[in-house]
Amino acid sequence: MNIKERVKSLLKEAELYKSQRLLREARKKYTLVIDILQQQTRIQNRDVLIAAVEKKRESLDQAIARWDQSRVNPEVSSKVQDLIKRLFTTSEEGVSDDEKEINEAITLAKFGQHKKALEEFRRLVRRPAISTSAAKNAVKCHLELSESEEAVETVKLWWGQGFFTPEQYTSITQFMQAAFEKKGIRWDESMMAADEGALAAEEDFTGPVDDDIIDITSIGINFQKGPMEGQHVELDVSFQSGSLLSLIVASGEKALLELLEKGQAIHDVDFYSPIAIFKGAAVVESNTEILSGPKKGDFSLDIRINSM
220-242 pLDDT tens trace:
999 988 888 889 898 889 888 88
Are 145 and 197 part of one and the same domain?
yes
Lowest mean pLDDT among 10-24, 111-125, 140-154: 10-24
Q: Give the pLDDT mean for 17-25.
A: 74
Mean pLDDT, range 192-215, rounded to an integer: 54
54 and 102 share one domain: no
Residue 225: which CATH number?
A: 2.40.10.220
pTM: 0.61
Cβ-based neighbours of 15, under 8 Å, separated by 6 or more: 26
In a domain, 290, yes or no: yes
Listed range (128-132, 206-210, 258-262, 302-306) with the worst mean pLDDT = 206-210
* pLDDT, the chain, mean: 83
- CATH number, domain containing residue 140: 1.25.40
144 belongs to a structural domain: yes
Question: In 3D, which of 225, 228, 221 has the Cα closest to residue 272?
Answer: 221
Instruction: Write the CB contacts of 162 (distance below 8 Å, at least 6 apart in sequence).
Output: 198, 201, 202, 204
Q: What is the distance of C-alpha 182 from the center of its chain?
A: 8
For residues 156-160, average pLDDT: 94
- Kindly state whether residue 212 falls inside one of the protein's structural domains: no
23, 49, 70 - which closes a domain: 70
Backbone angles phi, psi at 81, to 5 degrees: -60, -40
For 263-290, what is each residue's pLDDT tens digit?
A: 999 999 999 887 778 899 999 998 888 8
- Do 183 and 237 sit in the same domain of this protein? no
**Average pLDDT, integer, range 166-194:** 88
User: According to the model, what pLDDT value does residue 118 have?
Assistant: 94
Q: Which residue segment(s) compose the domain that 277 sits in?
A: 218-307
Average pLDDT over residues 17-23: 72
Residue 210, domain member (yes or no): no
